[in-house]
Structure 1
């Protein structure tokens, strides 16, 4: 495992719900110092309420200075002009970023610097911090996100891939797309916080009040509700089966008004990560209702492993990475097939032995093993193996 280094991490907001970047950096921070730079310059913001709230929150973080939410991990939110297509904005951003990051590194640096980026648009910053290694950790097809300049993202990403020592991808589609730009491109599927989510089977885990009042069976989803979540599919399933309750946890960037009037669809908002096992215990089936498009064909949903670690039967739309799990997941296309998948999850897959098998399949898929795989593949340890 890598140790005694300073990891300069470029990623989107640290205060967002935990995803792969959080798990990876938390593990690295156990033996290294991590400087997490909140960086999100590829997307052009809109005047929507969610974007305005994000801007306000980020400005507060900018003026708050360096934040240290856990030992050896420091979060910096620099001021960035969100105009990725503007050469003038890029020059200003480069000047401001480099100066601010160098100052922060001066305060927290401990050992040689390695740059790890979860965002595709930092190639113009490479070489500015004396980094000995560059790792691009690609978890999404960033060019397909709504609000992004796809052509610019791809140009930036190609440059970053070509200049990186290692490109890590989390799905076969991403590996296939990035390999032509860098032969040192590897596939490392997401891990799972097994100890955390397996707590869902504990009988003494109390039911959160807001879900306890909802009748069973409960079909559950947690995560950000964005334009890739097929709410129309869920609404049709809800209309077909009024006795099923569909429960969604998470912030939303889409208009939920048309769905709130459906009596058996429940939007409970974002929940703390620490509380997710308690909610999983109250789910009868875990849902992955993603639309099938260029973005989701490349996605490897972490929630699949989290549901399975919690012992839940899973029903998903036909995402390529999910289909690899075969009998562990009911893959269904369209409302009728999706409803059949749920019925099978509620009946044929509900037994204790099936639950134990799902959990056991996830036991060896922890994040530590994934981080070790990345470090070894990149020869990042260089004498620091232990």
Structure 2
């Protein structure tokens, strides 16, 4: 990796290192940048309005963020530093928001001083960090526009769009992973580039070489229809999936990931296994057990602007994939089945189950073999070298 850009990076992340899926693009890139640069990853600043009415879910979210803050500043095994600042979801209250920015900015400055970070490249994946990032001392400003946060539930869309606009106008470059969103918004940016997501190709493609299965998968009868990732009713179409499972009583449906919504109807079905969240490095061992991998997404503006990393991970595993449609999927129609109804989805699964021969697996893997995270990190750094401030 080149040394011609600043050797220090501060990333205001879109996720929290301590409890989110570590496949996300900001984690993946910072891990690779840290091989040659000093990297500080600031865990996500809370954007959603608190809803005490959520009861247990509200308490759970409060506890996990509190635990994240208590980790303090730590260096990860991946080589970069992680810090969770104390912050409050008060973006909709103007005066409180200014105080909150001062608090987060002060904590960030203290940590940067401790790490001797003086003039970093600042990377923003979380729109809520906009004003802090824009106003802090830096060599360059990068905006990662990989999700439409303004479409997320319990968000003040007007405020998030204001942050988004400020970042696009001030960032030296804005990176996109969704071609449709890039085409719509590129003209709003000082400079914009479409980079697409990457994949940890080798660990997924080589997973089937390990003979042993995870213990909690060993006794699940086939065929296995699998999904890994969070089940969130904003993204994952739960009623659609319930009907799909009812249509296929002789198949086993396995879900790997956190359940963030009510899935009691899914859990009550005899052919469903909910195995919970697993460490990222264990996901390929679970995915290799799938006969077909699925993505039953809701049809909304968030999904329209998405580019799920799991699609490339499924293909790197060599698995047949069935999905509800979304724009980025159009690039993969030679290796993915699409269906709009549970009935069509079930028919596609029934066909795909018989397509696990070596030739088809190899064809799917070749579709994503050139999209490794190492290559994406190299492309980003080469691009940053060309930008003059």
TM-score (norm 2): 0.93
What is the CA deviation profile of residues 74-116 of structure 1, one whole-angstrom value per residue up to 9, with x for unaligned ones? 1111111111111122111121112111111112135740000
**What is residue 183 of structure 2 aligned with on the other side?**
176
Is the deviation greater in 27-36 or in 172-181? 172-181
Deviation at 1:40? 2.3
Distance (Å, rounded) in 2 between the aligned partners of 1:306 and 1:160: 30
> Aligned with 1:211: secondary structure?
coil
**What is residue 94 of structure 2 aligned with on the other side?**
87
Distance (Å, rounded) in 2 between the aligned partners of 1:326 and 1:199: 24
Distance (Å, rounded) in 2 between the aligned partners of 1:358 and 1:337: 22
- 1:250 to 1:327, Cα distance in 2 relative to 1, 3 A: same
Is the deviation greater in 366-375 or in 62-71? 62-71
Is the deviation greater in 135-144 or in 105-114? 105-114
- 1:106 to 1:149, Cα distance in 2 relative to 1, 3 A: same
Query: Is residue 104 of structure 1 aligned with residue 104 of structure 2?
Result: no
Deviation at 1:260? 1.3
User: Which portions of structure 1, spanning 4 or more consecutive aligned residues, are displaced by more than 6 angstroms?
Assistant: none
Map residues 301-312 of structure 1 onto 2, 5 A cutoff: 301-312=308-319
- 1:316 to 1:52, Cα distance in 2 relative to 1, 3 A: same
Deviation at 1:294? 0.7
Aligned with 2:41 (options 17, 29, 36): 36
Distance (Å, rounded) in 2 between the aligned partners of 1:263 and 1:40: 40
Verify the 8 A CA contact 2:31 2:78 in the aligned structure 1. Answer: no
Query: Is residue 245 of structure 1 aligned with residue 249 of structure 2?
Result: no
What is the CA deviation profile of residues 115-171 of structure 1, one whole-angstrom value per residue up to 9, with x for unaligned ones? 001112222113543211011011111111111111111111111111100000110
Deviation at 1:44? 0.9
Is the deviation greater in 297-306 or in 333-342? 333-342
TM-score (norm 1): 0.94
Distance (Å, rounded) in 1 between the aligned partners of 2:246 and 2:26: 37
Is the deviation greater in 2-11 or in 223-232? 2-11
- 1:111 to 1:71, Cα distance in 2 relative to 1, 3 A: farther
Deviation at 1:5? 1.4
Distance (Å, rounded) in 1 between the aligned partners of 2:248 and 2:143: 44
Structure 2 unpaired stretches of 5+: none
> Aligned with 1:263: secondary structure?
coil
> Aligned with 1:327: secondary structure?
coil
Verify the 8 A CA contact 2:168 2:190 in the aligned structure 1. Answer: no
**What is residue 13 of structure 1 aligned with on the other side?**
16
Distance (Å, rounded) in 1 between the aligned partners of 2:343 and 2:64: 42
Query: Is residue 191 of structure 1 aligned with residue 198 of structure 2?
Result: yes
Structure 1 unpaired stretches of 5+: none
Deviation at 1:381? 8.2
> Aligned with 1:134: secondary structure?
strand
Distance (Å, rounded) in 2 between the aligned partners of 1:173 and 1:123: 23
Aligned with 1:320 (options 327, 338, 341): 327
Distance (Å, rounded) in 1 between the aligned partners of 2:64 and 2:90: 19
Verify the 8 A CA contact 1:2 1:380 in the aligned structure 2. Answer: no
Deviation at 1:366? 0.3
> Aligned with 1:210: secondary structure?
coil
Is the deviation greater in 333-342 or in 126-135? 126-135
**What is residue 29 of structure 2 aligned with on the other side?**
24
Distance (Å, rounded) in 1 between the aligned partners of 2:387 and 2:377: 12
Distance (Å, rounded) in 2 between the aligned partners of 1:64 and 1:218: 38
What is the CA deviation profile of residues 161-189 of structure 1, one whole-angstrom value per residue up to 9, with x for unaligned ones? 11100000110122134323214111111
> Aligned with 2:216: secondary structure?
helix
Distance (Å, rounded) in 1 between the aligned partners of 2:186 and 2:267: 44
Distance (Å, rounded) in 1 between the aligned partners of 2:385 and 2:79: 23
Deviation at 1:316? 0.6
Query: Is residue 353 of structure 1 aligned with residue 355 of structure 2?
Result: no
- 1:51 to 1:29, Cα distance in 2 relative to 1, 3 A: farther
Verify the 8 A CA contact 1:296 1:319 in the aligned structure 2. Answer: yes
Q: CA RMSD in A?
A: 1.7
Deviation at 1:209? 1.7
Deviation at 1:374? 2.0
Map residues 1-386 of structure 1 onto 2, 5 A cutoff: 1-3=1-3, 5-11=7-13, 12-15=15-18, 16-18=20-22, 19-47=24-52, 48=54, 49-70=56-77, 72-109=79-116, 112-202=119-209, 204-227=210-233, 228-347=235-354, 349-379=355-385
